[in-house]
Structures are given as C-alpha cells and as structure tokens.
Structure 1
Amino acid sequence: MPSTPVATAPTLTDLLSFARASAADPDVLAALPFDPNRRTWVRLDGPGGSEAWVIGWPPGSETGWHDHGGSSGAFVTASGELSELSLVMPLPSSGWRRLELEEGVDRRRTLPAGEGRAFGPHHVHQVVNPSAVTHAVSVHVYYPPLPSQRRYVRDGGVLTLVQVEGPEQW
C-alpha cells in the first residue's frame, strides 16, 4: 500500500513570501471591498493549509493590541503605510490575565508598501494606519489558521487580557 505524503507546515519564509506575492498581485487586491470609513477584509487560501486575509485600512484605523491564538504569521503592506507596535519578548500563550512589562520591551516598525514581517506563535502587537488621509491595504497570512485572537488593553506598562475571540466573531 503506497504511503500518503505528509503535508509539511509552511515556514515563516513561506508565509512571508506568499504575503509579498499576494500584496503585489493586482487581481488579489481588486477582490477587496473598499470602505472609506471602516476596515474591510477578504479571505484567501494560503500555502500549506494556512489562511490569508487582504485587509483595507482607512486613515487612522488600527487593530488594538492582540495576538493570534498561537498561530505564526506574516504580513506585507500592499499600499499606503502601516505601523506595527509590538513587544520584543514572547508572551506565554495562556495562564495570565495581567502582565507588568519591563521598560525597553516595545518595538515600533514602519512598513511602507512592499515591506512586511513574519512572527512566531507568541507575538503580541498592534497594527495602525498612521495616515490622516491615505487608505492602506495589506496581506496577512497565518498558520495554523487562526483558532482565536486574544485582545488586550495596554495602560502604560501593564497589558491586560480583556477578551478571547473565536473565528465566528470576525
């Protein structure tokens, strides 16, 4: 009996390459509905069983602090510019509700069109369109597909878990 090939999970490089190629594909971007006042998104099938999203960002829109439920991911700005605020330390995936952060754990990245990044399963961040006038578009990809997102409130050096959302809430 022939063996069934085992699917290999996509690497961070695979996820980032897919996000970069999709962000440069006019046909992929054309599927995104435009709304000047709220974020919009459309789902794509990513490599190796991952899920991907094309997201539209009106001026000033942002995600709030969140993680990806233990999934790794990558994103690339297709147009406009995004800022990412993140923590340079991996956070535990469970077992806490409030965490005091040490000074120096914050990182800020500016991601103009064509720029992106990949991240591991314990990444906490906030993504913002800092422009007051320009709409931005980006492509995000996650593996495994997002099981949940934890949402946080940040007050200075304190990060507090406020909500866990499942896919049915997106």
Structure 2
Amino acid sequence: MSLPSVSPASPVSASASTPAPTQAQLLDFVRRAAADAQLVASLPLDPEGRTWMRLAGPGGSEAWLIGWPPGTGTGWHDHADSVGAFVTAAGELKENALAARLPTDGWKTLELSDGVDRERRLSVGTGRAFGRHHVHEVLNESSDRHAVSVHAYYPPLPQIRRYSRSGQTLRLEQVERPQDWQ
C-alpha cells in the first residue's frame, strides 16, 4: 500500500556546514516543530492511511510530519544506524519498545528476555530521543481521533528493519531502503 505524500515544508533551515546533530538537538527540533500549530494544521489527514510531509531537519537530518488515522501503527521496526527523536503534536500515541541492545546483523529470530518491554503513552508535546538500533512500534490506539507527530533522524535513514513479534520471539521480516518508501 502506497502512502500519500505531501509537498515539503521547513520550520527550521539546515546548514550544510553544521556538525551532526545530537539526540538532544533532534529532540529540541521535533518539539519546536510539533509546537508550530500552523505547520501541524497544514498536514492533510486521510481517514484510511498515514500521511506525511518531509521537513528540513537540523544539520542534514531527515525529518517528517506524520498523520496517524485512528487504529494505525508502524509495526515493530528499527532505524538501523540512525539516532532519532519524535514528539506527538496532536492526539496521543503509544510507543512499545525493547529495552535491550539487539545484535545488528546475522540473525533472523531472537528469543527476548523477560522484562525488556517498555510502554510509553505520548500525549501532545511529549516525545523522546533514541539511539541506534532502537526497536519499537508506534501506535495511534484511538478509535476516533487522528494523531500527528514530528520525527527526525540522523544520519538520514539508510534502512529500516521490520520485525514480527509473537510472545517473546522477534523475527526479522524485511529490510527496507529509502527507495522502498519514497
């Protein structure tokens, strides 16, 4: 299923000579963008699928404004070697994450230890930064309200690994590259 895209906008300009942004700088950027009511309102919302608008992130980072219809989510995934941050700009999102460093390559199935699951409810203005190889899923569990969020990644996403999960078993299902989602 192809998701609709929207033309780019930029709440903050990036400079080519700027050093790589830190997780804290990415979190600051997504917080400021999420607080920009005009930017958030400019994203068309589709009742059937997620929508997004690419933003100019700080220091050459990749950034997105994303609309989440009720009942949608990402599925389990990571952002490979990118660090990132995201903040809820409207509605509420839930993040399920694994508090464990997973091997980056050479496996298809892992048995997860007890106690690695983390759950966060992210209301408007709430978000988080994360490091490389952070495995999570993001969900809009509302039955009747859209959510909107702002995300930033550095370096720009080289790939996304998608996983399935059954109980404590995590299975690598697919590796996507930028040409797969653009």
TM normalised by structure 1 equals 0.94
Contact 1:63 1:127 in 2 (8 A): yes
> What is the CA deviation profile of residues 89-114 of structure 1, one whole-angstrom value per residue up to 9, with x for unaligned ones?
12122121111101110000000000
The aligned counterpart of 2:19 is 8
The aligned counterpart of 1:124 is 135
**Which range is displaced more, 21-30 or 135-144?**
21-30
Are 1:19 and 2:30 counterparts? yes
Within 5 A, what are the aligned runs for 1:45-124? 45-124=56-135
Q: Mind listing any 5+ residue stretches in structure 2 that lack a counterpart?
A: 1-15
> What is the CA deviation profile of residues 48-67 of structure 1, one whole-angstrom value per residue up to 9, with x for unaligned ones?
11010000000110000000
Paired letter, 2:54: R
Contact 2:45 2:69 in 1 (8 A): no
| Equivalent position SS for 2:110 | strand
| Equivalent position SS for 2:96 | strand
Matches of 2:140 and 2:151, distance apart in 1? 15
Residue identity over aligned pairs, in percent, reads: 61
Paired letter, 1:116: G
Between Structure 1 and Structure 2, how many residues are aligned? 166
Structure 1 residue 33 displacement after superposition: 2.0
Paired letter, 1:125: H
| Aligned CA-pair RMSD | 1.3
Contact 2:56 2:63 in 1 (8 A): yes
Matches of 2:180 and 2:85, distance apart in 1? 21
Structure 1 residue 6 displacement after superposition: 6.3
Q: Mind listing any 5+ residue stretches in structure 1 that lack a counterpart?
A: none
Paired letter, 2:45: F
**Which range is displaced more, 45-54 or 27-36?**
27-36
Matches of 1:49 and 1:91, distance apart in 2? 27
Matches of 1:81 and 1:146, distance apart in 2? 25
| Equivalent position SS for 2:141 | coil
> What is the CA deviation profile of residues 134-163 of structure 1, one whole-angstrom value per residue up to 9, with x for unaligned ones?
110000000000011000000100000000
Matches of 2:17 and 2:106, distance apart in 1? 33
Are 1:40 and 2:36 counterparts? no
| Equivalent position SS for 2:144 | coil
**Which range is displaced more, 87-96 or 145-154?**
87-96
Where in structure 1 do 4 or more consecutive aligned residues deviate above 2 Å? none
TM normalised by structure 2 equals 0.88
